[in-house]
């Protein structure tokens, strides 16, 4: 059984959604589908999620029509019968928090994909849960997903969001639909978690910087987690752990080049032809070197030093 997740670029318009649906239908083992909000159709376009965030902003003109027209165009071109007018009215008129508005793109995208596939729609608002501090409640989430999906042969779910204990919608960080897909795969005991994006897989380096970068055929969970933490953007760094814990292989695939081998992520060690798996980097990353005489004899010195980083909400990484 395969759980699949499609990113925003793969669902940017009706033609892309139609192509993604062909991929899903080409293998009957693809049973559970998690989708992102529609991404850019061309380089100057605006992602749906960014449009929703701008709409929510009090300093921006509150015009929901361009968002509504974008989805209605997709519905018309797909030739499906789907009335989302009540959803548009609620999103447009009711006072909502920022997370709710940011999640609407995934919700509408999933409604459309479910209608096009003629599969059940399952809202992750009622099966992905966070605690009072906004941390994922994995135990409760797994139980709820199993209850909601256990009796279904197929289902389409929106990624990126769930609910707080008080019922308010809460989102993962941007790109969090990858996490949603991994949670569904883990809960349902999938044999494979396919993550469909717009590249052939994990590359050895950023192709915008290194023109000779090539696809990594196989990589371990630990290597992938390290690369995503250091700036590789093919997969959200927090999507690794649910699949890792469940021992589910992740397969990075290209929606626009489905015949490509992609990149496989597994727990076992992978023998690489090259001694270096890949190279990644991120901005806003600094190394601090502290030297002080007899520092090793001062009790509490490290704690006091790191408390400065904690005060300014700076994550600390200790080199192994």
Please give the Cα distance from 53 to 59 (Å, whole number).
Answer: 11
Within a domain: 229: no
Within a domain: 33: yes
Provide the 3-class DSSP secondary structure of residue 218.
Answer: strand
- Whether 30 contacts 57, CB under 8 Å: no
Q: Provide the CATH number for the domain around residue 106.
A: 3.40.1160.10
Distances, alpha carbon 208 to alpha carbons 174, 255, 282, in Å: 22, 20, 14
Provide the 3-class DSSP secondary structure of residue 61.
Answer: coil
Within a domain: 10: yes
Within a domain: 273: no
Q: What string of pLDDT tens digits covers the 320 residues of the chain?
A: 999 999 999 999 999 999 999 999 999 999 999 999 999 999 999 999 999 998 888 665 678 999 999 999 999 999 999 999 999 999 988 778 899 999 999 999 999 999 999 999 999 999 999 999 999 999 999 999 999 999 999 999 999 999 999 999 999 998 899 999 999 999 999 999 999 999 888 888 777 788 888 888 888 888 887 777 766 777 888 888 899 999 999 999 999 999 999 999 987 766 666 666 677 766 777 777 777 787 778 888 888 888 988 898 887 765 54
Percent of residues in the chain assigned helix, strand, coil, to nearest 5: 40, 15, 45
The DSSP bridge pattern shows strands 250-254 and 192-197 to be: parallel
Closest to 68 in 3D by CA, of 52, 45, 46: 52
DSSP, res 121: B
Please give the Cα distance from 161 to 128 (Å, whole number).
Answer: 7
Please give the Cα distance from 188 to 214 (Å, whole number).
Answer: 33
What is the pTM assigned to this prediction?
A: 0.85
Instruction: Mark out the alpha helices in the chain (DSSP H runs).
Output: 14-25, 48-56, 65-78, 85-93, 98-117, 138-149, 177-188, 221-229, 240-246, 301-311
Paired residues of 263 in beta bridges: 252
Domain range for 193 is: 2-198
Give the count of domains, the chain.
1
- Whether 164 contacts 152, CB under 8 Å: no
């Amino acid at each position: 059984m395969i759980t699949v997740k499609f990113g925003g670029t793969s669902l940017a318009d009706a033609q892309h959604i139609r192509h993604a649906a062909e991929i899903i239908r080409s293998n009957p083992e693809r049973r559970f589908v998690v989708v992102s909000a529609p991404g850019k159709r061309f380089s100057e376009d605006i992602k749906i999620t960014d449009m929703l965030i701008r709409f929510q902003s009090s300093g921006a003109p509150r015009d929901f029509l361009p968002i509504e027209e974008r989805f209605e165009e997709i519905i018309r071109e797909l030739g499906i019968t789907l009335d989302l007018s009540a959803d548009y009215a609620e999103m447009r008129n009711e006072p909502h928090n920022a997370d709710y508005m940011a999640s609407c793109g995934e919700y509408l995208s999933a409604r459309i994909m479910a209608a096009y596939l003629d599969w059940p729609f399952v809202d992750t608002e009622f099966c992905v849960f966070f605690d009072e501090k906004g941390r994922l409640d994995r135990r409760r989430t797994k139980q709820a997903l199993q209850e909601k999906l256990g009796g279904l042969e197929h289902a389409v779910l929106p990624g990126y969001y769930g609910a707080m204990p008080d019922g308010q919608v809460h989102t993962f960080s941007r790109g969090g639909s990858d996490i949603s897909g991994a949670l569904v795969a883990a809960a349902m005991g999938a044999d494979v978690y396919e993550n469909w994006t717009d590249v052939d897989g994990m590359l050895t380096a950023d192709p915008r910087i290194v023109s000779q970068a090539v696809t990594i055929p196989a990589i371990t969970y630990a290597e992938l987690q390290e690369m995503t933490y250091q700036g590789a953007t093919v997969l959200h760094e927090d999507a690794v752990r649910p699949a890792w814990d469940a021992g589910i292989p992740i397969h990075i695939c290209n929606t626009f080049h489905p015949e490509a081998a992609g990149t496989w992520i597994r727990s076992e060690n992978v023998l690489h032809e090259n001694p270096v798996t890949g190279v990644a980097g991120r901005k806003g990353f600094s190394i601090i070197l502290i030297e002080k005489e007899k520092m090793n004899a001062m009790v509490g010195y490290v704690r006091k030093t790191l408390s400065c980083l904690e005060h300014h909400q700076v994550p600390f990484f200790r080199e192994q």
